[in-house]
Chains A and B, each alone.
Chain A
Amino acid sequence: MTLIGLGCLLLMTVSACSPGAFTQTPFVRQAQDAASSLSAAAATIEYVHTGKVDDRYARSSLSIYRQSLQGMESELPGLRGAPDETVLQPVISQLERARQVLDDPCLDDDCDWRAQLSTLDDASRALLKVSE
């Protein structure tokens, strides 16, 4: 236990001596994870329409992405490292629109899946940008 404590101390010291170089803030981590889920969702919808995955695979995985993004809009602003509200609010709005896409994803040919794709990609890019 002492050694683990020592390890903690050592790594905390390294982390403190080089702020930002060793670790990411909780906000950056969550924003990047959310961006990853949105990119994956976009890829999944694209793959359905290009015949790379079937409908069942898409439904199952989209429900997993939906789950991983649950509550993200309210969680992100309160995390350490979050930018101020004026910067974050537009990104949150994009995230909300992307979540609406995940609630009703277009997996057939009778809806505008390309529009959904760009909503998801835009939200993902915005999250990555705000986490830089």
Chain B
Amino acid sequence: MKRALQVTLGILTAIGGFVDAGAIATAAGAGAGFGLGLVWAMLLGTLAVILLVEMSGRLAAVSGKPYAASIRERFGFKYYLAPLITELIANTLLLAADLGGMAIGISLLTGVEWVYLVPPCALLVWLMVWRAPFSLIENGPSLLGLVTLSFVVGIVALGGPSPDLLRSLWRPTIERGEWAAYLFLATAILGAVISPYLLFFYSSGAREERWSRRDLSLNRITAMLGMGFGSITSIALIVLSAMVLQPRDISGITLSEVGLSMAEAFGPLGARLFAVALFTTCLGAALEIVLSIGYNVAQGFGWEWGERKKPVEAPRFNLVLLLFLGGGFAIATFGIDPLQLALFGSAFTALTLPIALFPFLVLMNDREYLKDKVNKRWNNIAVIAVLGLAFVVAVVSLPLLILSGG
């Protein structure tokens, strides 16, 4: 019974935790701009992230070492610095976007200007990473994030997509001059879904939860069902934006525009549901991002780390959390639209994906780490395919960002 509960909780948290500011930004932009023509990118990204999340959990459960610590140990300090630095840059932007997303969520509920709400949101994130137990951080916002399932209900309430819109699934309408924007959004979606911070967080979380070989089935189920169902909420957002925003020539460039889809479906309740969904998903993502950086740095430098430890027992880990949160907060206070920050963060993530993902190929075939649980042949073929995809995405993401104007 306890096991079943654990599995259910794992799946629910993965569903609720799938969406963040980056996913909302890219999904809304995709739906409003190209109908269902970018659903393929979301599906492709989901397949990749299922594979990678399963591997990062398996690595931590079998070897007892999270991903960042394994990179440092197996590849040496110099290589470890590359994914760390790229993660620091991309995640600072994403953290600022998520803090802004939280603030806009409260702003839409209260009417208070969102820039004034950034400091209390940052304070809440700090209090939670400082004092809250890991289980609360992992499960609290994610369970509240299940409100994102209302996006799916919203599609039903609006009567579902029209046949014309459904046709855009395989035959998207891309106007003259829009190819760069279309391809840029595709790479940004992949960058938003295949977030390396999720992998660092997930494998460290597996250690926080003291996973062992007995948890491998839980890991597999969480990765497959949780991430699989989680992507449904993002796809639902694409569909909603395509149904409501696209016909009105609204391109989903600000978060409040995205909420109009839910208002169309459910009236004021829908608008409030969107605001709550925005706040909780961005809170969950902000916590994961801050912790993933703390884990990454502490594990790489061999410091004490973990949410189970009191701050005084892991002072440098907690200092990194504070400094990183301060960096994200500083950017968020400039008042740059969180959606734009999230798009840039996702594009930068896409640019650096191969650096963060390449170590999987080596580590997951190393019997010193995985013993009899090393990758099977099909796993390796899939990893190589994901790396190939990451490589292409990395090569084109920056030029596309410049050409499409972000």
Contacts and interface: CB of A to CB of B under 8 A. Distances in A.
A40 B263 contact: no
Nearest to B254: A64
A121 to B, nearest CB: 10
Interface string B233-274: 000000000000000111111111101100110011011100
A59 B405 CA distance: 29
Interface residues of A, number: 44
Contact of B176 (A20, A32, A59, A63): A20
A20 B313 CA distance: 59
Contacts of B176: 20-21
Interface residues of B, number: 48
A59 B109 CA distance: 10
A43 interface: yes
Contact of B254 (A3, A4, A54, A65): A65
Interface in A42-68: 43-44, 47, 51-57, 59-61, 63-65, 67-68
A33 B404 CA distance: 13
A4 B253 contact: no
Interface in B34-80: none
Contact of A6 (B109, B180, B252, B395): B395
B111 A60 contact: yes
Contact of B268 (A8, A52, A61): A52
A24 interface: yes
Contact of A59 (B111, B396, B399): B111
A51 B398 CA distance: 43
Nearest to A36: B251
Interface of A: 3-4, 6-8, 10-12, 15, 20-24, 26, 28-29, 32-33, 35-37, 39-40, 43-44, 47, 51-57, 59-61, 63-65, 67-68, 124, 128
30 contacts: A3-B394, A3-B395, A4-B351, A4-B395, A8-B399, A11-B400, A21-B177, A22-B179, A24-B181, A29-B405, A36-B252, A37-B257, A39-B249, A39-B250, A40-B248, A43-B260, A44-B260, A47-B264, A52-B263, A53-B271, A54-B272, A56-B111, A57-B109, A57-B259, A61-B108, A61-B256, A64-B254, A64-B256, A68-B254, A124-B249
